[in-house]
Structure 1
Amino acid sequence: MLSISNNYQSMSFATLRDTSLATALERLSSGLRINSAADDSAGLQISNRLASSKNAHNQINRNLNDGISYAQIAEGGLQESAALLQRMRQLSIQSQNGINSDSDRFALDKEFQQLKLALNAIAYNTEAFNSLPLVGDEDLLSDNVPSLSDTFSQGVEQSMTSGLRSIAYIPAGSSNVQIDLNDNGANDDIQVFTTDGKHLVGTPLTNATWVSKGITSATDLFDNFFLVENGYSSDASYDDSDLLTVGSATINGNSFTFTGDQQPSSTLESLTIGTTTQPLIISVIGNGSFRVTADWDSLGDENQGNSYSLGPVNITASNNTVTGTQYIELQKTPATLEALNIADTNIITTEAAEEAISRLDDALNNVSESRAFYGAKMNQMTSAYKVNAEMSVNVEASYSRIVDADFAKETARLTQSQIVEQASVSVLSQANANNEQVLGLLDSTFEQATQGVE
């Protein structure tokens, strides 16, 4: 029997050669020594831990950059506040001068009061990452003016005293709010404002109800009604261009139906608010007491009137797997008129100017301490950034040593594999050629033997 011997050794060698070549090509193309768990199972596990640590350090540094930006924004607002306080103190000293007449001091006080408004505006307009670092949490809208649902039980009549204050705010997104007022003959009137001072529903400032409370002009509103504790923003400005005194109207997307001031024919007033697109402040202005009932289909998000973050800001400083995450805390540094204790100051007399100087000195010390606080925190976060950056570089280097391919080594391996491949192809080709010669000789001998038999 004839048998043909296959070149199994050459074929096995070719398989090993192909595997080595494929591995070298994979590492060179990906740049990684470990492309699967089979390449280095222990190394893969270690590299995953290092990759997690590397990503954490990189993110912590981004967080620290955000924290530095937060502190810079807050310190910038305080810098402007300090400049205004210095000017206010200068005006106070000028007002003390005996050469000034009363009219001179009143003129100086006008600028002084405008600077106070600007100071409050800086505090409320210094916003960083959805937070107000220069405004205390207690000064925000939802803390000062309760929502309609907090003030009233739905559909239940209750008695309240009127005055020059806000009684409730209606969140944006509310629908079909109904307020029915019985003023007991005291001529108390419903008023609806936006938080920035737009007068939407009620009676004009020339009405007797407003006059009885000492309000005859927009300036009087600024001094006595447009206050933070009444829910108004520090830069609120009076606008009655769309004031609805009776009837129905849609203003800024808010729909109203109002019976108007019913005095002296009736003691009842009724207000229906179909839809609200912004927070609204409800007040009842007057000098007596009233009975009121409130009802509604739905109320919007109560936090919509105050969308700012509360409390301190905690900046991620490190992520220690043993002790846990560490933070750098940035406390709020309120710089509003109330926080600085200068809300009721004036310089219309020498005595008042002297009192103002004393308070302004305290306010300047407060602002300076707050600026120093942010400066120290910026230095602390910068130091933490440098530490994390150095750790990130070291972890990156450790990770690279484990997973990155050695290009010189892999290139040499690739070259070696290619040489071996070319040699194996040549050897296999020669082996196959020899087999063909043997088979040809056997075929010729077999044919000759067959012919002899015939």
Structure 2
Amino acid sequence: MVVQHNMQASNASRMLGITSGQQAKSTEKLASGYKINRAADDAAGLSISEKMRKQIRGLDQASTNASDGVSAVQTAEGALTEVHSMLQRMNELAVQAANGTNSESDRSSIQDEINQLTTEIDRVAETTKFNETYLLKGDYGKKTIKIAAHDAGLAGTLTQNTTKATFTMDALAMGDTYTIGGTKYTIGVEGNNQADQLKNALKVLGTKAQDSDETTDTNIKTLSVGEVVKIDGKSFTIANTTNADTSEVKATQLGLFASMGSTIEYNGKTVKLFNTATGPAADKGGVDEKDATLITAAKAYQLIANELRSASSIGADKVINPANAKFGTQDITVSDATTSTGTVDAKLPSQVKNYTIGTTTTPATKVSFTLTKGEAEVQNDLTFNLHVGSDADMTNKIGVTITDMSSASLGIQGLNVADATGKAATYAIDAIADAVAKVSAQRSSLGAIQNRLEHTIANVDNVVENTNASESRIRDTDMAEEMVNYSKNNILQQAGQAMLAQANQATQGVLSILG
């Protein structure tokens, strides 16, 4: 029996210390709700869960970023809704101004409202912002944009690329009609004298007088006895001899009844001769001196070029250059809009689409006008990125691009409908249509981004939820399981204390020996 080493008490004390330590940890886990309160609790679990926490908190912020992006996009799209409404009203006003029942003062009143709407579009573009970021006025710096060309309502086909526009139409021949700027023009029959004009007229109609100097052409037939030719509204029957009383005329003597300025009809076709002998292009700018709607093909091409130029200059910073015209492979000279003359290459008057003369066997059938598209200087596009992920990958960025939505960028800057004829208003309709299409494209782009962001938010929130669940399994205390451990350790602690007390009492027997 010894008193220096009470091994029973030492053992009981050691076990009590272990139980007390386990009890303390169990109490900590139950009190904190975490089963990892320090790295020593689960070194690997701590490392894994901290990475998950980083992802969770990053994705939570990413979801917020995406939601802020939706708000910004909705702000811009809402402002563009009003821009759309104003453009629709401007289109309505332009259609109204194009009507011929309006006077110039009426169009001036309409112009006042268009000016106000244009100013408001600029104000909306200038002031719409989200969190101090202006959304619709572009970014710092300037760029030059091309303004879409328009066909001015002319009969033909307009094609365009990024810099050029080409209008292609059927070549005009004597006797053709063509509407330019709302006015129907007739291409008159030219000639150096009355006989020359009549000869050309008959060729256009597909006939020829029975004279020996006429060349043979498969497209031109000799007038036959009994056929009817109408001159200035009066019918004449082709006969072997001329008799004015019976309205009979020999084919070679049609010039007795047809003079300069006459209208000749044959087989459903109609042509009109000019009232000048030397050709109106020489002294009247290609316009008949008695009929302003009777013009040469050269004058028609000049008017067409100027119409294309005017219609395509709307919204441009300056009037675009005159169109370059070609008749087949040969150039046509169309004068500047400030002058009234127009000329055609000397070879061209003999080349018309419905008959050939001399050695020309393959006349051109198309005329093309090529012009350089107008330009406007506007702000650079606004571009910003929404970071919608927890990592630095560039794929976690969603780019948002919003173009300058000012009147200059929309191509309606300086829009004018207040002319005397209503042509300017007619051309303005096309310019407004282009502006509506541009705003529609921008709104469509913003709507697509918003839909994408909503899917992004849903996906991020799903990832956060599932990562949270995984992190919880690593870090959170299972309260039921831990209570079992706590109760066990509590009982063991009490038992250990009792056993330690008993072990300490065991050495008391030494006193009885000493006594």
How does the TM-score come out when normalised to structure 2? 0.51
Name the structure 2 match of 1:318.
389
Residue 11 of structure 1: how far off its partner (Å): 1.0
Verify the 8 A CA contact 2:94 2:428 in the aligned structure 1.
yes
> Which residue does 2:58 correspond to in 1?
56
Letter paired with 1:347: V
Aligned to 1:265: none
- In structure 1, distance between residues paired with 2:56 and 2:429: 54
Per the alignment, residue 226 of structure 2 pairs with none
Q: Which amino acid aligns with 2:121?
A: L
Determine if the alignment matches structure 1 residue 329 to structure 2 residue 399: yes
Letter in 1 for 2:406: T
Residues 1:415 and 2:415 are matched in the alignment: no
**What residue identity is the alignment partner of 1:83?**
S
Residue deviations 1:76-115 (CA, integer Å, cap 9, x gap) = 1110100111111111122222332222221221111111
Of 105, 114, 138, 1:136 maps to: 138
Partner of 2:100: 98
Matched-pair contact (CA < 8 Å) for 1:123–1:134: yes
How far is 1:432 from its partner?
Answer: 2.9
| Pairing partner for 1:347 from 417, 421, 424 | 417
Larger Rg: 1 or 2?
A: 2
- SS of equivalent to 1:100: coil
Deviation at 1:324, TM superposition (A): 5.1
Which amino acid in the other structure matches residue 340 of structure 1? L
Which residue number corresponds to residue 441 of structure 1? 512
Shift in alpha-carbon separation, 1:370–1:2, aligned structure 2, 3 A: closer
Larger helix share, 1 or 2:
1
Equivalent-residue separation in structure 2 for 1:138 and 1:359 (angstroms): 26
Percent identical among aligned pairs is 31
Distance 1:372 1:57 in 2: 28
1:137 is displaced (CA, Å) by 2.3
**In structure 1, distance between residues paired with 2:73 and 2:55:** 27
Name the SS of the counterpart of 1:386 in structure 2: helix
* Counterpart in the other structure of 1:430: 502
Give the Cα separation in 1 of the matches to 2:82 and 2:13: 83
Match of 1:85 among 84, 87, 94: 87
1:218-229 paired onto structure 2 within 5 Å: none
Cross-structure match for 1:109: 111
CA distance in 2 between partners of 1:49 and 1:138 (Å) = 40
Q: CA deviation at 1:395?
A: 1.4
Residue 417 of structure 1 aligns to a residue whose secondary structure is: helix
Tell me which of 23, 37, 55 is aligned to 2:39.
Answer: 37
CA-to-partner distance for each residue in 1:394-424, whole Å, 9 max, x for gaps? 2111111111111111111111111111222
CA drift at 1:370 = 0.6
Counterpart position of 1:253: none
Deviation at 1:426, TM superposition (A): 2.1
CA contact (8 A) 1:319 1:325 kept: no
SS in 1 for 2:485: helix
Instruction: Give the aligned residue type for 1:335.
Output: M
Contact 1:311 1:331 in 2 (8 A): yes
> What's the RMSD between the two structures over aligned residues?
2.6
Unpaired runs of 5+ in structure 2? 145-316, 318-378
Q: Which consecutive residues of structure 1, in runs of 5 or more, have no partner in the other structure? A: 145-228, 230-307, 446-454
Work out the CA distance in 1 between the residues paired with 2:15 and 2:88.
Answer: 89
Shift of 1:313: 0.8
TM-fit CA distance, 1:433: 3.6
Q: What is the letter of the counterpart of residue 3 of structure 1?
A: V
Matching residue's letter, 1:110:
D
Please state how far the C-alpha of 1:319 moved relative to its aligned partner. 4.4
Equivalent residue letter for 2:385: N
1:69 aligns with 2:47: no
How many matched pairs? 278
Verify the 8 A CA contact 2:381 2:401 in the aligned structure 1: no
Moved more, 393-402 or 75-84: 393-402
SS of 1:315's equivalent?
strand
Query: CA contact under 8 A between 2:382 and 2:402: conserved in structure 1?
Result: yes
Residue 442 of structure 1: how far off its partner (Å): 4.0
Q: Distance in 2 between matches of 1:73 and 1:313?
A: 15
Deviations 1:333-373 (A, max 9, x none): 22101100111102212122112211111000100111100
How has the CA–CA distance of structure 1 residues 2 and 71 changed in structure 2, closer, same or farther, with 3 Å as cutoff?
Answer: closer
Question: Would the aligned equivalents of 2:60 and 2:461 in 1 still touch at CA under 8 Å?
Answer: yes
- State whether residues 135 and 382 of structure 2, in contact with CA within 8 Å, keep that contact through their aligned partners in structure 1: no
